[in-house]
Structure 1
Amino acid sequence: MDVLAHMMSLMRTKGSLYGRLEFTAPFGFWFPADNGVCIIVTRGSCFLSVDDSPLVSLVGGDFVFLPTPKQYTLRSSPELSVRSMLEVASQEEFHRTRLITFDGGQGPSTSIVAGCFSLASPESDILVKHLPPIVHLQGSGNHTTPWFQSTLQFIASEVAQNLPGGTAIVDRLAEVLFVQAMRSRIGSSSPTNKPSWLHALNDPQIGEAIQLMHAEPGRPWTLDELARNVSMSRSAFAERFRKLVGETPLDHLTQWRMVKAGNMMRANPPIKLAEIALATGYESESSFGKAFRRIMGVSPGKYRASNRDLAEV
């Protein structure tokens, strides 16, 4: 089973606005954010920070995905103070022109494509929490391929031309970059990585266990059975899983079951809760309902009602 492909089918992005930022140094701005953010540096360089994270240096050809920022800043040099972007251009103006320009002086120019989007499925929050605050794909990184840079250039061209249908094209292309960002998270071997089941997919035994659970969420998995399937002792498996993923195997299984359950409700609104319970490993609606409320924060009935109008993605 391709776990990443399966996850992306449940975690589609919905682009809401993309536009260009054309700045001349010196510049320093903070941007409000309540959804995910994509940033593509098409020319020049700048420094990015997200919430309270350290500054990250960006150069032309870099792509950045910010899963859940409250705010972020862009500046031409680390020592510069920042002011609100709204002092330069209103949100209404950006929506209309898809362009913000700022001439700070005689310094180098930096061109950026910035976009904000939301995740299509409400249960995506369970998946997003396993991502770092900044997913940075460097233009010169090992992941770089001709199609990666071509996609960045195509997005920049579509945003600049602002032609009919351009938003839909940019949204689809950005989603391709989003998948590549998730790939990089799986393949990353940085010692600073926080625990994450995406990163743990790279571990032969823990990755196999995760794939087993995701492939058959309705199976009555036990800790012993999972350990046997990946040729590990129960204690060693439990310890390594928690170290790499940041939660116990059965806690992870429960969360994945609820993601699947939420997706089933949206994909097939008339489906009975008893069927969903059985498909996600519960013998009764009651036990399923308790688990759903604990993980999702609402009852299955309220979840179904609040998401009745969401189309399957």
Structure 2
Amino acid sequence: MDVLAHMMSLMRTKASLYGRLEFTAPYGFRFPAKDGICLMVTRGSCYLGVDDSPLVSLVGGDFVLMPTPGQYTIRSSPEVSLRPCEEVASAEEFHRTRLMCFDGGQGPSTSIVAGCFSLSTTESKLLVKHLPSIVHLQGSGSHIEPWFQSTLQFIAAEVSQKLPGGTAIVDRLAEVLFVQAMRSRIGSSAATDKPSWLRALDDPQVGRAIELMHAEPERQWTVDELSQCVAMSRSAFAERFRRLVGETPMDHLTQWRMVKAGHMMRAKPTIKLEEIALATGYESESSFGKAFRRVMGVSPGKYRSMNNADI
């Protein structure tokens, strides 16, 4: 089972705006971010800061995904002073023109395509909660697919030309880059990476256990049974799973069941909760409802009514 492909098929992102940032050094701006942000550097270089994380150096060809930033900064050098981006262009102006320009002087120029997106479902948020604050794909990296740079260039051209249907094209291409960013986390050992199910997929034993749970969420899995399936002792398996994933096998299984349950309710609005309970490993609607409320924060009925408009 391709766990990443399955998860991405259930994930729902909703793009709200793409535009160009054209800056000439020296420059430094603070940007608010209530949603997810992606940045594509098409020319020049800059430094990116996200919340309290160390600055990251970006160059042309780089792609950055920030799943849940509080705020972020873009500057020409680490020591440059910062100002609010609203001093250059208001939110309303950027929405209208999709362009923010600033000429700081005679320094080098930087061009960036910036996009905003939101995770439109609670189950989507569960799938990315363990991602690092910055997912940085370097355009010159050996792991980058040959099509990566041409996709960035295509997106930049579409944003610049504002042709009919351009927004739809950019949204689709950005989803492809989103998948590539998620794929890059599999097996990652970067010092800044937190434990996550993505990193764990590359581990032979823990990755196999995740595949088994995701393939049969209705099965009454136990830690003993999972450890036997991957030829490990119970204690060694439980310790490795928690170290790589950041949660226990049963916690991960419960969250995956709730992701599947949420998707079933969205895909089949009239499906009975009893059917969803059985399909996700619960013997009664009551036990399923308690687990759903604990993980999703609302009852199954409330979740269904909240999401009917999106189905």
Assess if the C-alpha contact under 8 Å between 1:23 and 1:104 holds in 2. yes
SS at match of 2:174: helix
Provide the residue aligned with 2:77 in structure 1. 77
Work out the CA distance in 2 between the residues paired with 1:190 and 1:72. Answer: 21
Work out the CA distance in 2 between the residues paired with 1:129 and 1:262. Answer: 16
Work out the CA distance in 2 between the residues paired with 1:190 and 1:87. Answer: 36
Deviates more, 1:248-257 or 1:139-148: 139-148
Work out the CA distance in 2 between the residues paired with 1:228 and 1:50. Answer: 42
Work out the CA distance in 2 between the residues paired with 1:136 and 1:191. Answer: 13
Provide the residue aligned with 1:60 in structure 2. 60
Shift of the alpha carbon at 1:191? Answer: 4.0
Assess if the C-alpha contact under 8 Å between 2:45 and 2:110 holds in 1. yes
Q: Which runs of 5+ in 2 are unaligned?
A: none
Provide the residue aligned with 1:34 in structure 2. 34
Identity between Structure 1 and Structure 2 (%):
80
Per-residue deviation, residues 45-73 of structure 1 (Å, max 9, x unmatched):
00001111110000000000000011100
Q: How many residues align?
A: 311
SS at match of 1:54: coil
| One-letter code aligned to 2:163 | L
Shift of the alpha carbon at 1:228? Answer: 0.5
Assess if the C-alpha contact under 8 Å between 1:10 and 1:121 holds in 2. no
The alignment status of 1:221 with 2:221, answered yes or no, reads: yes
Work out the CA distance in 2 between the residues paired with 1:236 and 1:143. Answer: 31
Per-residue deviation, residues 225-245 of structure 1 (Å, max 9, x unmatched):
100100001110001001111
Provide the residue aligned with 1:212 in structure 2. 212
Shift of the alpha carbon at 1:159? Answer: 0.4
| One-letter code aligned to 1:292 | F
Work out the CA distance in 1 between the residues paired with 2:145 and 2:129. Answer: 28
Provide the residue aligned with 2:299 in structure 1. 299
- RMSD (CA atoms): 0.9
Assess if the C-alpha contact under 8 Å between 1:65 and 1:135 holds in 2. yes
Assess if the C-alpha contact under 8 Å between 1:277 and 1:285 holds in 2. yes
Provide the residue aligned with 2:174 in structure 1. 174
Work out the CA distance in 2 between the residues paired with 1:297 and 1:144. Answer: 38
Provide the residue aligned with 1:251 in structure 2. 251
Structure 1 stretches of 4+ with a deviation exceeding 3 A read: none
SS at match of 2:116: strand
Work out the CA distance in 2 between the residues paired with 1:191 and 1:78. Answer: 21
Matches within 5 A, 1:1-313: 1-311=1-311
SS at match of 1:146: coil
Shift of the alpha carbon at 1:126? Answer: 1.1
Per-residue deviation, residues 66-109 of structure 1 (Å, max 9, x unmatched):
00011100000001121110111011111111111000011000
Tell me: CA distance 1:191–1:85, structure 2 relative to 1, closer, same or farther (3 Å).
closer
Deviates more, 1:300-309 or 1:189-198: 189-198
Q: Which runs of 5+ in 1 are unaligned?
A: none
SS at match of 1:307: helix
TM-score (norm 1): 0.98
| One-letter code aligned to 1:188 | S
Work out the CA distance in 2 between the residues paired with 1:105 and 1:10. Answer: 47
| One-letter code aligned to 1:309 | A
Shift of the alpha carbon at 1:136? Answer: 0.2
Assess if the C-alpha contact under 8 Å between 1:30 and 1:72 holds in 2. yes
Work out the CA distance in 1 between the residues paired with 2:283 and 2:260. Answer: 16
| One-letter code aligned to 2:141 | G
SS at match of 2:232: coil
SS at match of 1:20: strand
Work out the CA distance in 2 between the residues paired with 1:79 and 1:276. Answer: 55
| One-letter code aligned to 2:259 | V
Shift of the alpha carbon at 1:250? Answer: 0.3
| One-letter code aligned to 2:186 | I
Per-residue deviation, residues 13-65 of structure 1 (Å, max 9, x unmatched):
22110000000000000111111111000000000011111100000000000
SS at match of 1:19: strand
TM-score (norm 2): 0.98
Work out the CA distance in 2 between the residues paired with 1:191 and 1:75. Answer: 24
Work out the CA distance in 1 between the residues paired with 2:53 and 2:11. Answer: 25
SS at match of 1:186: coil
Work out the CA distance in 2 between the residues paired with 1:144 and 1:190. Answer: 16
Assess if the C-alpha contact under 8 Å between 1:12 and 1:175 holds in 2. no
